[in-house]
Every structure is written in structure tokens, then in C-alpha cells.
């Protein structure tokens, strides 16, 4: 039986950060898609099955609260959300919304991706 592919959507207004997500996290069984704007995020999230969203907190025209609110209002309640910030909005944390401290610990993140894959089997 083949492994379930995990889909990740990286949301950030900094292109370099999104490139890092692509280069570090993408593999045969992890698909990484990225969005630089809220409109782009919404379009991708609505059109694809996304398992994990990694979002920066402050992104100019929008922030992680907008991302979390949109996901919670969607019909995709099992999407795991990581907010990457040195000062995240702690009031939004719950079972599916977690903190991803800066600088990003990619070993931790890769482990979380594997845990998500195991929960999808």
C-alpha cells in the first residue's frame, strides 16, 4: 500500500520564505503549494484538499487571524494550521491551530508532517 501524500499550503508575503518551504519540505509524498496573498490563499484552499497550512502572522494586507477564520468557516475542519511568528495571537490556538516559533525548527515540522500522515491512514 502506498503512503498517503500530505498536502501543505505555505502562506507568507515573503517569497524567500515560501521558497524555503518548497525546498525543505517538498518530497515524493509531500506536496507544497504556496500563496503570497489572501486572495491566492483562499483560491488554493477552496480548490484543493489541504492537510496543513503554515502561515506567517503579520503579512501586511492580512494576518494569521484571517487565515484561521477562513479555514474554520470552511468545510475542512481537520486542516492543521501552524502560525509562524515570534509573537503569535495565542487566543486562536486550539487542537488544530499550533504555534511554530521562529526561527523555524524544520526537524520538528517534518515530524509533525509525518504525524499528520499517520493520522490520515
What whole-number distance in Å separates Cα of residue 67 and Cα of residue 46?
12
Phi, psi of 81 (to 5 degrees): -120, 130
pTM value is 0.92
pLDDT, position 1: 42
Q: What percent of the chain has pLDDT over 90?
A: 69
| 11 or 86, greater pLDDT | 11
Q: Is CATH 3.40.50.2300 what the domain over 6-120 is classified as, yes or no?
A: yes
> Above 90 in pLDDT, residue 54?
yes
Rg from Cα positions in the chain: 13
For the stretch 89-98, contacts whose Cβ atoms lie closer than 8 Å and that sit 24 or more positions apart, written own/partner, are 89/57, 89/63, 89/64, 89/65, 92/64, 92/65, 92/68, 97/68
Which helix (DSSP H) or strand (DSSP E) does residue 109 occupy? helix 106-120
Q: Where are the domains of the chain?
A: 6-120
pLDDT, position 2: 54
Amino acid at each position: 500500500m502506498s503512503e498517503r501524500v500530505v498536502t501543505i499550503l505555505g502562506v507568507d508575503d515573503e517569497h524567500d520564505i515560501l521558497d524555503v518551504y518548497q525546498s525543505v519540505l517538498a518530497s515524493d509524498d509531500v506536496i507544497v503549494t504556496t500563496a503570497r496573498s489572501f486572495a491566492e490563499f483562499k483560491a488554493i484552499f477552496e480548490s484543493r484538499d489541504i492537510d496543513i497550512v503554515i502561515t506567517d502572522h503579520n503579512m501586511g494586507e492580512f494576518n494569521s487571524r484571517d487565515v484561521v477564520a477562513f479555514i474554520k468557516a470552511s468545510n475542512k475542519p481537520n486542516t492543521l494550521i501552524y502560525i509562524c511568528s515570534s509573537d503569535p495571537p495565542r487566543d486562536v490556538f486550539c487542537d488544530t491551530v499550533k504555534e511554530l516559533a521562529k526561527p523555524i525548527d524544520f526537524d520538528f515540522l517534518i515530524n509533525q508532517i509525518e504525524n499528520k500522515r499517520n493520522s490520515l491512514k
